[in-house]
Structure 1
Amino acid sequence: MGDMLGNALSALVSYQRALATTSHNIANADTEGYSRQRVDFATRVPQQLGSTTIGSGVKVASVSRVYDNFTAGQLRSAQAAFSAVDNSYQLASQLDNALADPNLGLGASLSRYYNSIQGVADDPSSISSRQLMLAEAQGLGDRFADLSAQLASLSREVNVRISTSVSDINDLATQVADINLLISESKGKFGTTPNDLLDQRDQALLSLNELIGIKSVEQNDGTVSVFVGNGEALVLGDRTIKMNAVSNVFEPGRIEVAMDLGGGNAVISGSLSGGSLGGSLNFRDGLLDETRNELGRISLAVASSMNEQNRAGIDLRGNQGADIFSVPDPVVHRSINNSSATQMTAQITDLSQVTGNNVLMRFNGSSWSFFDEANGQPVSGVTGSGSVADPFQLSGVQFSLNGAAAAGDQFVLRPTEGATAGLKIVLTDPAGIAAAAATRSLTGSNNIGTGSISQTNVVDSSDPNLLNNVDIEFLNANTYQVNGSGSFSYTPGTDLNINGNQFVLNGSPVAGDHFFIGANTNAVGDNRNILKLAGAENLKLLNGGTVSVQDAVNGLVGDIAVATRSAQINKQSQENLLTQTRARYESVSGVNLDEEAANLLKFQQAYQAAAQATSIANDLFQNLMSAFR
């Protein structure tokens, strides 16, 4: 009877624990991150009576989580990947909407501007057409400024997202460290780990992966160490290493991510990936910077081509044309950690060679090293010593220092970064539009040969003798002189250049024949130069003379559209993967109410049976006691 009572009582206690665990599962069916728990039963140590072994009942061996480390790791990875592409897609969509609008986009503004130039070409003397052209030029400048403002707004939004993510990461890291302490204490005192604390820590780790891709390593004491980037520690046991949002050393308005080393910060932005923070950094350092640089390159191409061609003509007042737009110089940022006060300046010398890539420069005390800022790869092909007299030359840009640099000094050259915001219209007088060509050519009225001269093409508007009169006199059929000097061989059909003018002589002139070049005075109806202005849209000005402004705009809009669409597809793919992974995780660790209801009924029946066995054992014991009265 004692054995029977003991067995029944052990069953009562064990199934009471099982019922409590089942009810705990049911209560937490909707608790995020909760892993269902399972009671594991085991037989108690049996009693030995002579040669007979008698069972001693049941005990609760453990209450364990139904949990799979591999599936949980997959869920964290899927969460980090989805959060990254989702954040990138949100930001890329804003960029795509800003540039691709059919009515307000850059392509539409450029088309309206070039169409207005054609209007002046149709009627060069019309003031209203000229006013419309300047209005469209102003509109184009405003559109570039608006796009620059939108990019700046996106940069600020990214800064806010980075700062917010860093703050949330620190909070979650502290939460993980606090739970680590409780787990280690529990394991040290009782030899077991509380399941609910493990769930809370797993949920905190999953939330961390939503913000940044992490790697976690479980230690022998039950704690988990968390690492980010290239192995930088975020949590070590019950200790956290704080993550800080700091200003970029070259650009204070640009936020970077750094680890707090106690005595300073180590910037780790370039090594972080995954999560919303990784997505923000990837978007900013990739698509956003590339768009800003390419947009600046387009701005420079538009402004430079317009200015150069307008200077090659004559305005309504008979003056040589002036600039239509301002052309900003490249931006150079110096590190706030530089020990010298040396400044660096830059200017563009050949727009067709400008790539828009940013260059990081480091001085080690004796020589300079050059790197691509985006990927850190070394840059070759730099010539010059960096002095004002012998500036550095790279990809159509020259840059120089105004003094001696100190060891450790760093600079970043961004050739096109400020061009979009700095593009301004400087021509306000409609009469200043140089519709007419600057020079014209004439054939001598007394010529008797069959020679002819083409119209002039201004190839160097900066030549100080551009508008000077030129008299070409043939000494014989094969030789001529210029302004009474020299003796030059004549080859029909050859391009000739004099005082910045290019022209062609053809035919068979004879001795005494004259050809003249001079300023194109009283040319109100001439539209030769304005036609070239209208055609500048399709001039191959970029990428070594292979890409026009229109090509560049189409390429930029297309690249952003492709990047946005790719981000959207990646988001959908990662969302599906996350859904599938979460479903697998829930199938293992999630609470199934039907299953718990069945368990509840099973354990209830077992408990009632054990109670009945206890009652019977008690009755037998009472009967036995009555026999001795």
Structure 2
Amino acid sequence: MSSLGMVLDIATSALAAQQHAIDVTAHNIANVDTEGYSRQIPSLQAKQAVLHQGMILGRGVEIEQVARSIDQFIENKLMQEKSNLSSFQEMEKYMQVLEAMFSESSDASMSATLSDFWNLWHDISNNPSGSSERIALYEHSLLMSEQFQSLIPDLNQIQTDITNAITVGIERINQITSEISQINVEIVGMEANNNVANDLRDKRNALVSELNEYLDIKTFEQSSHSLTIVAAKGCTLVHNDRNYELEIYGDRVKWQDSGGNYVDITNHISNGKIGGWLELRDEIIAKYELDLDAMAKEFIWSVNQQHSQGVGLKLFESGSTITGDYQTNTDLGELEYGSEIQFIANGFNLWIEDRTDPANPTIDYVSVDLSSLNSSSSLSDLATAINNQITGVGLTGITVDGSGSALSLIAGNNYAFGFSDDNSNILAALGVNTFFTGTGAGSIGLNAMLNDKDYIAAAQIDSDGSYAAGDNTNALAMTDLQYTSMDISQWTCDRINGNTEGSVTTTIEDYYHSMVGSIGIISSSISRDTKFNEMMVKELNTLRDSISAVSLDEEMANLIKYQHAYQAAAKLITISDEMLETLISTR
């Protein structure tokens, strides 16, 4: 090749290289606002030299490659922080709802409702026979029961909303993994001949970033340039041209392997929206639902246990039937509060008033001995034991029926009955002469017998069988419960290790205040974590943009540089042409 021909070749290569560089610059400028686009950089290199007339001469320039301007470490760190941020943002949103449910700022808060309940018992202690005080307590207790009952469905609704969000999230995850598997095929095909599919890699990277916002993943690029994605418990979501879907079964997230087998990965998903939703639903909200139920259960028991010791303005009248609110079809130990029963000799006093002679009624009692029974005894066994003891002391007119699933006491004509000194807790465990029904926040209600407000037990029967409308003994004992410490279950919920029941000794109100305070602390902690991760994502985005984002100023400078180089190459061709004409003319 003549040296003049070599000059033309060099100039032509320069024109092509600079034109290609200008094309890349134009592509960058066009995608300045494209989400996930990484700036592309044309890499120029000298073409392989040749030996010409004993000298090694260069042959011009060529495009070695067009590379994406990225730092994979920064990309991975940004994805990780985005995953954390997505988790905290979702948790923060639902924690705000949870805080509002348990807000203490209103006069209608549960804390205020509990305080008013004790205050109304105090009002009754000041005027035990007062009709207005009894009505006020009854109506307030109804509202309080409804307030308790509403909290459980509200918590359940949050959990349902979260489950629905998880379902939608899983659908999007499956869409993303399907798209990534398709892009894998395209990238492998395009890069088979040492090409680099920059735009497809950006698209795949954007999808991986979005996927990482839903759950924590790990990625591995194969030698074929296909991307493998692995999620919780080592479950592969994408491998080569195939994606493996996640599915929702009830409230569980399951992964299907290539053999069609399902693996439950619910408890192993961390971070991302799915991880945040699961932590909220199965740990945080589950804990407070259990704690609220435990508090309500102990509240119901303590009030019922005290109420069962007392008597209202009258005994249970002739012809009335009192049926326990708690049922069992097997044995006494199966009652919800069966573990509280003490099978002792001096169980409780059953008072029976004989009104056969209305002018001269008589009252007597039997101290019911429960020592012959145990937790395996049935209601029928209990009824038989009580009936035998009533007969044994010559008391008649009262029948105890244990043939069904709840104990019933029936007053015959001209007879009435009441209770006192229950050392065994059997009455409260059976739901006899109690204030509340139910065993938790979702089931609490008022005993139907209290429709007659006279049965609100503010008094207690004395040792001689007397009771007075002005007696406030039981009402005072009830108000003391406000300041009485008791053992209340407290739960720890963990998706990996399961739920653990602990116990704290405190008052009902202090337990509730502690629970509300705990919600506030967790919410504040999540908000702080959200702000911190927002800052981290912002800083990492700034760092990424400094590496990968398109700068119009820089691209314009490059455009001018490549334009000048192109013009110089064109000038070189012009000069070569003139030299060629001169050479021809000399011949």
Using structure 2 for the length normalisation, give the TM-score.
0.76
Count of residue pairs the alignment pairs up: 468
Distance 2:327 2:255 in 1: 37
Q: Which amino acid aligns with 1:568?
A: S
Q: 1:279-294 residue pairs with structure 2 within 5 A?
A: 279-294=276-291
Report if the CA contact (8 A) 1:8-1:613 is conserved: yes
2:167 to 163, 175, 178: 163
Give the secondary structure class of the aligned counterpart of 2:219.
strand
Distance 1:86 1:175 in 2: 26
1:572-620 per-residue CA deviation (whole Å, 9 max, x = no partner) reads 1111111111111111111111111111111111111111111111222
Give the match for residue 203 of structure 1. Answer: 206
Q: 1:10-49 residue pairs with structure 2 within 5 A?
A: 10-49=13-52
Report if the CA contact (8 A) 1:79-1:210 is conserved: yes
Given the superposition, is the C-alpha separation of residues 228 and 546 from structure 1 closer, same or farther in structure 2, using an over 3 Å criterion? same
Q: Which amino acid aligns with 2:24?
A: T
1:137-157 per-residue CA deviation (whole Å, 9 max, x = no partner) reads 011111111111210110111
Given the superposition, is the C-alpha separation of residues 10 and 545 from structure 1 closer, same or farther in structure 2, using an over 3 Å criterion? closer
Q: Which has the higher contact order (CA 8 A, sep 6+)?
A: 2
Given the superposition, is the C-alpha separation of residues 328 and 13 from structure 1 closer, same or farther in structure 2, using an over 3 Å criterion? farther
Give how far 1:187 is off: 2.1
Give the match for residue 135 of structure 1. Answer: 139
Give the secondary structure class of the aligned counterpart of 2:476.
helix
1:526 to 471, 481, 490: 471
Distance 2:208 2:504 in 1: 53
Give the match for residue 540 of structure 1. Answer: 485
Report if the CA contact (8 A) 2:300-2:440 is conserved: no
Give the secondary structure class of the aligned counterpart of 2:23.
helix
Distance 2:516 2:323 in 1: 26
Give the match for residue 452 of structure 2. Answer: 429
Q: Which amino acid aligns with 1:160?
A: N
Distance 1:614 1:130 in 2: 109
Q: 1:111-190 residue pairs with structure 2 within 5 A?
A: 111-188=115-192, 190=193
Q: Which amino acid aligns with 1:167?
A: E
Distance 1:268 1:184 in 2: 30
Distance 2:261 2:483 in 1: 52
2:519 to 549, 556, 560: 560
Identity in percent? 26
Using structure 1 for the length normalisation, give the TM-score.
0.71
Distance 2:85 2:335 in 1: 42
> Which ranges of structure 2 fall in alignment gaps of 5 or more residues?
342-374, 378-437, 489-502
User: Which is helix-richer, 1 or 2?
Assistant: 2
Give the secondary structure class of the aligned counterpart of 1:226.
strand
Give how far 1:345 is off: 7.0
Give the secondary structure class of the aligned counterpart of 1:314.
coil
2:114 to 110, 116, 125: 110
Report if the CA contact (8 A) 1:257-1:267 is conserved: yes
Distance 1:4 1:327 in 2: 104
Give the secondary structure class of the aligned counterpart of 1:35.
coil
Give how far 1:193 is off: 2.7
Give how far 1:552 is off: 0.9
Distance 2:263 2:324 in 1: 43
Give how far 1:126 is off: 0.8
Distance 1:77 1:293 in 2: 33
Report if the CA contact (8 A) 1:307-1:325 is conserved: no
Given the superposition, is the C-alpha separation of residues 423 and 611 from structure 1 closer, same or farther in structure 2, using an over 3 Å criterion? same
User: Which is strand-richer, 1 or 2?
Assistant: 1
Distance 1:546 1:154 in 2: 30
Give the match for residue 300 of structure 2. Answer: 303
1:279-298 per-residue CA deviation (whole Å, 9 max, x = no partner) reads 00011111100000000011
Distance 1:26 1:256 in 2: 46
Give how far 1:350 is off: 4.9
1:184-239 per-residue CA deviation (whole Å, 9 max, x = no partner) reads 11122x22230011101110010001111111111111011111112111111111
Give the secondary structure class of the aligned counterpart of 1:100.
coil
Distance 1:116 1:519 in 2: 27
Distance 1:200 1:351 in 2: 65
> Which ranges of structure 1 fall in alignment gaps of 5 or more residues?
248-254, 330-343, 353-387, 391-416, 441-516
1:587 to 546, 554, 561: 546
1:470-499 per-residue CA deviation (whole Å, 9 max, x = no partner) reads xxxxxxxxxxxxxxxxxxxxxxxxxxxxxx
Q: Which amino acid aligns with 1:518?
A: D
Distance 1:579 1:181 in 2: 33
Aligned-residue Cα RMSD (Å) equals 2.6
Given the superposition, is the C-alpha separation of residues 326 and 566 from structure 1 closer, same or farther in structure 2, using an over 3 Å criterion? farther
